[in-house]
Amino acid sequence: MSKNISDLSGRKGLSENLFEKLSVISSNNLTNDIENVSEEYLVGKSSVYGTISFYDFLKPENRNKKIYVCNGSACLTAGTQSKLLDKISSYFTKEKVGEMCCLGRCHENSAFQYNGKNYSGKDIDSIDKIISDKISTVENYNVGFSGKKILTESYENIEKYYEIFRKCLIESPLKLLNEIKESKLRGRGGAGFPISFKIEACMKENSETKYIVCNADEGDPGAYSDRYIMENQPHHLLMGMLITAYIAGATFGVIYIRGEYPESVSSIDKSIKELEHLGLVGENICGSNFTFNFKIIKAQGAYICGEETALLSSIEGQRPEVRVRPPYPVQFGLYNKPTIVNNVETLACLPYIILNGGKEYSKIGTEKSSGTKLISLDSNFKKPGIYEVEMGTPLTKVINELGEGFKSPVKALHIGGPLGGLVPINKINDLTIDFESFSQNGFLLGHASVVCIPQDFPMIEYINHLFKFTAHESCGKCFPCRLGSTRGNEMLEKSINEDFKIDYTLMKDLLETMESASLCALGGGLPLPVKNALKYFKSELSSFFINYNE
């Protein structure tokens, strides 16, 4: 990350955003366009090219792709993508077919994207019409709850719903902050960091310009809860951003949405226009001194942008590498200005807290994990979909009552994305849906996505999939992540395809190095599910290793 580039990019700010400019020129004559952008923004040509060449959808080698097939964990374990590729190969040559990592269609798999639209399930049977008529299809999945409804509670009248925010404008920011403190709301993106800490820290910063950034780059394969909010309950999120901005004194809000979620981009754009019509964005909102504007930025395919500092670099048009902290984003964030970064689900909780009070929210869930959590269940459940549960709900209830059990035998659940815990089926009775239960048992709740690993799916192939994913998605800034994931993938590939056994001591050393020395949770988090697999599936994996018993 270059502070100079942050400042240079900030000269034109969000209105002439450098990242969006790079997204446009990537499909044109790169040599001429790179020189023009370099001169316009006073940024080096190597920096411009380095940024463009990082993203999956902007790389020159992907410029001619016509259709993208999901290679996420849920589609992998469901075994649907080989048949999908066979069907697609009748219409497109190999050179025209690309890959995307998780389109958020984990509830039915067979997922692909064509002409900027997502398809899944039985849509492939209509590929002729999709290509010739460019038709859209209707997606359906189950939405349910257990206990209190907050995020799945609909609002009938938008104008009436925003009375919550209008009342905020006549309250002191400090009073509203105290309500959020009392709620004990923790970040739902995986880390579980209290949102009130970020808001208060940014509030105390002395700066004329501050930003609220919504991390809607929901890249965890198996997760589609943020997508559910953006497409079905978008005003929970937008009001949450408005509330946060008013308390912190921010005037700009950025919603950074995955390029793999075109429907989410459309939904949020439509919802912001509704707010504009109601006079709830812009200058001096509702006659107050509060001014705020939204900006949607469509990402271009990079899992690392789910890490908050890499996301900020991405918005600035820099190569999205993880930044060393301190300083933290609340001090030096977007364009070197104080910035609060929170994910979709976290921000969407705020309207309920402000309406009902922080104490009321804190009564839901557990002492240390308050509120509710959205769970994403994949297609191996009899009733897959999105479910809202109170923190502390037994995992068995989620599986057996909400999901109605498994369609076929399952040996493990990968919960919380690729960096989450790999839970053997015999451990599910020990877990409840909260941060402490998962941590105490050696797992990680994370985003709370649930990907089933079928009984007949080789565990060695699954952990190799995780190493391969990390190697592809690493920003490359730190050696432990960049090299460790690559070496792990190489060893596992060799053990699967050749007469080669991995030295278990070497694998343990590699995992310890990644865990302790990586700059962010990508390299640092990968060892958790791999260690879980090595611990609980020793009998299945032992033939691929030597010195396993040491």
Distance of alpha carbon 306 from the chain centroid: 5
Q: Does the residue 257 lie in any domain? A: yes
Give CA separation, 12 vs 8, 217, 335, in Å.
8, 24, 10
Give CA separation, 538 vs 157, 478, 500, 509, in Å.
55, 30, 17, 18
CATH number at residue 410: 3.10.20.600
Q: What is the pLDDT along the chain (550 residues), one digit of tens a residue?
A: 567 888 888 888 898 999 999 888 876 666 678 888 889 889 888 898 889 989 998 888 887 899 999 999 999 999 999 999 999 999 999 999 999 999 999 999 999 999 999 999 999 999 999 998 878 888 999 999 999 999 999 998 999 999 999 999 999 999 999 999 999 999 998 777 899 999 999 999 999 999 999 999 998 999 999 999 999 999 999 999 999 999 999 999 999 999 999 999 999 999 999 999 999 999 999 999 999 999 999 999 999 999 999 999 999 999 999 998 889 999 999 999 999 999 999 999 999 999 999 999 999 999 999 999 999 999 999 999 999 999 999 999 999 999 999 999 999 999 999 999 999 999 999 999 999 999 999 999 998 999 999 999 999 999 999 999 999 999 999 999 999 999 999 999 999 999 999 999 999 999 999 999 999 999 999 999 999 999 999 999 999 999 887 5
Q: Does the residue 58 lie in any domain? A: no
Domain boundary among 362, 395, 419: 362
Q: Does the residue 196 lie in any domain? A: yes
Look up the pTM and report it.
0.96
- Residues of the domain holding 538: 459-546
Q: What is the DSSP letter of 123?
A: G
* Torsion of Cα atoms, 115 then 220 then 333 then 372, to 10°: 120
Helix ranges restricted to H, 435-526:
435-440, 459-473, 479-497, 504-517, 521-525
Q: Does the residue 60 lie in any domain? A: no
The amino acid at residue 270 is K
- Which among 436, 457, 455, 523 is positioned nearest to 484, based on CA atoms? 523
Answer positive or negative: Cα dihedral of 41, 47, 49, 51.
negative
**DSSP calls for 198-216:** HHHHHHHS--S--EEEEEE
What is d(CA 418, CA 422) in angstroms, rounded to the nearest whole number? Answer: 9
Q: Are 469 and 535 part of one and the same domain?
A: yes
pLDDT of residue 27: 66
pLDDT of residue 324: 87
- Which among 413, 350, 39, 391 is positioned nearest to 212, based on CA atoms? 350
What is d(CA 478, CA 175) in angstroms, rounded to the nearest whole number? Answer: 42
What is d(CA 457, CA 471) in angstroms, rounded to the nearest whole number? Answer: 22
Q: Are 149 and 226 part of one and the same domain?
A: yes
Q: Are 341 and 290 part of one and the same domain?
A: yes
Q: Are 336 and 249 part of one and the same domain?
A: yes
CATH number at residue 297: 3.40.50.11540
Q: Are 241 and 344 part of one and the same domain?
A: yes
Helix then strand then coil, in percent of the chain rounded to 5, is 50, 15, 35
Q: Are 319 and 330 part of one and the same domain?
A: yes
Q: Are 174 and 288 part of one and the same domain?
A: yes
- Which among 285, 297, 319 is positioned nearest to 213, based on CA atoms? 297
Q: Does the residue 239 lie in any domain? A: yes
Tokens 């849509």 sit on residue: 123
CATH number at residue 110: 3.40.30.10
The tokens for 156 are 């009938």
Return the SS3 of 175. Answer: helix
Q: Does the residue 233 lie in any domain? A: yes
Q: Does the residue 62 lie in any domain? A: no
Q: Are 230 and 91 part of one and the same domain?
A: no
Strand-pair category, 252-257 with 117-119: unpaired
Answer positive or negative: Cα dihedral of 348, 352, 353, 359.
negative
Answer positive or negative: Cα dihedral of 126, 128, 129, 133.
positive
Residue 147 phi/psi, 5-degree rounding, is: 95, -140
CATH number at residue 464: 1.20.1440.230
CB-CB neighbours of 8 under 10 Å:
18
Count up the domains in the chain and report the number: 5
Q: Does the residue 422 lie in any domain? A: yes
Q: Are 173 and 277 part of one and the same domain?
A: yes
Domain boundary among 322, 339, 362: 362
pLDDT of residue 28: 65
Domain boundary among 452, 476, 495: 452
pLDDT of residue 265: 97
Tokens 């050393």 sit on residue: 509
Q: Are 158 and 210 part of one and the same domain?
A: yes
What is d(CA 174, CA 60) in angstroms, rounded to the nearest whole number? Answer: 49
Q: Is the peptide bond before 327 cis (omega within 30 degrees of 0)?
A: yes
105 close to 384: Cβ distance less than 8 angstroms: no
Burial 186-218 (b: 16+ CB within 10 A, else e): bbbbbebebbbebbbbbbebeeebbbbbbbbbb
Q: Are 149 and 205 part of one and the same domain?
A: yes
Q: Are 169 and 276 part of one and the same domain?
A: yes
